[in-house]
Amino acid sequence: MRAAFLGTPSAAVPALAALLDVADVVLVVTQPDRARGRSGRPAPPPVKLAAQEWGLPIAQPADAASLEAAIRSVPDLDVGIVVAYGRILRTDVLTATRVGYVNVHFSLLPRWRGAAPVERALLAGDALTGVSLMHLDEGLDTGPIISVIETPIAEDETGGTLTARLSHLGANLLSDSLPSFMAGALQPAAQISAGATFAARFRPDEAHLDHERPAPVLERQVRAFNPRPGAWLTADGDRLKVLAATVVPLAPAAGSIEGVDGTPVLGTSDGGLRLDVVQPAGKGVQPGSAWLNGRRGAPAAAGR
């Protein structure tokens, strides 16, 4: 089986490793190097680094035409595997392999079709998620399902930890199911669109912790947006990133941040949000208690 792999972030690397066990990976396609960090220097995406280490051919097309050219430059491709590549595939690319493309998607489709399924599942308070192996069509995650694996969402899981866990579950699902699919022994089943929900790419302002919302909603925001982009609020006008938080029954007035047993608590419309781990602007990550001590225990006002 001659396969192309399309993926970009670290969450795609386990699937690439799993694909190497069941296919001849003749091309790895990933996004171009992007400026990162304070230096602003271009840095390669994690999939490129992995492909280089494993001696695999790499292409980094910058546009749709270049992507098609890269795929069609490889003869006799049987299948393409897509994991968080970051670009919607057009018809001319979808038809460039013998059986099309298989996508490893981090949700139980048709729930959370789209770009941010992990974050949306956490924000919604879903108790269950999983990975879907889907045969791509021209729609947005609407293709037939080859196989799925389910997993409960732990109460303390974050966007980062859940993504990492799903990436390994997805890699196992791929290596277990792809050979049977390619042999015709595993037939995809059409999705039931009636239950579809959409995981739109999140906006930066969605990570803002608005004290006029209930504490459980804010706690889910903190977990969903850890590590990126990081949930935040303003305390006396200064931006404060919140990396871990806990819902508590005792709370100050909504919009006030006050010390309770030595730890800062944000008053919300319903309950309190204890700020367990924070990062003030321009400073390192620290316990909420250390931030409060730096203020000598003085309360702060949370902005909107």
Condensed to tens digits (0 to 9), the pLDDT of residues 169-184 reads: 999 999 999 999 999 9
Sign of the Cα pseudo-torsion (160, 165, 171, 173, in order): negative
The per-residue pLDDT of the chain, averaged, comes to: 96
Is 206's pLDDT higher than 90? yes
For residue range 132-148, list pLDDT tens digits in order.
999 999 999 999 999 99
CATH class, 204-301 region: alpha beta
For 220, the token pair is: 């889910």
Q: What is the pLDDT of residue 150?
A: 98
Task: Report d(CA 146, CA 135) in Å as an integer.
Answer: 7
Q: What is the pLDDT of residue 304?
A: 75
| Helix, coil or strand: residue 202 | coil
For residue range 59-86, list pLDDT tens digits in order.
999 999 999 999 999 999 999 999 999 9
How are beta strands 24-29 and 58-59 bridged, if at all? parallel
Domain edges within the chain? 2-199, 204-301
Structural Rg of the chain based on CA atoms: 22
Q: Closest Cα partner for 171 from 292, 13, 293?
A: 13
Is 39's pLDDT higher than 80? no
| Inter-CA distances, 232 with 52, 223, 248, 303, Å | 37, 12, 18, 11
Q: What is the architecture of the domain spanning 2-199?
A: 3-Layer(aba) Sandwich (3.40)
Q: pTM of the prediction?
A: 0.95
Q: Is 201 exposed, middle or buried (0-12, 13-18, 19+ CB in 10 A)?
A: exposed
- In this structure, the chain runs to a length of 304
H-type helices in the chain, by residue range? 13-22, 46-53, 64-72, 91-94, 117-124, 159-182, 215-224, 288-294
Q: What is the pLDDT of residue 194?
A: 87
Residue with tokens 């309770």: 260
For residue range 240-264, list pLDDT tens digits in order.
999 999 999 989 999 999 999 999 9
Instruction: Check if the beta carbon of residue 232 is closer than 8 Å to that of residue 275.
Output: no
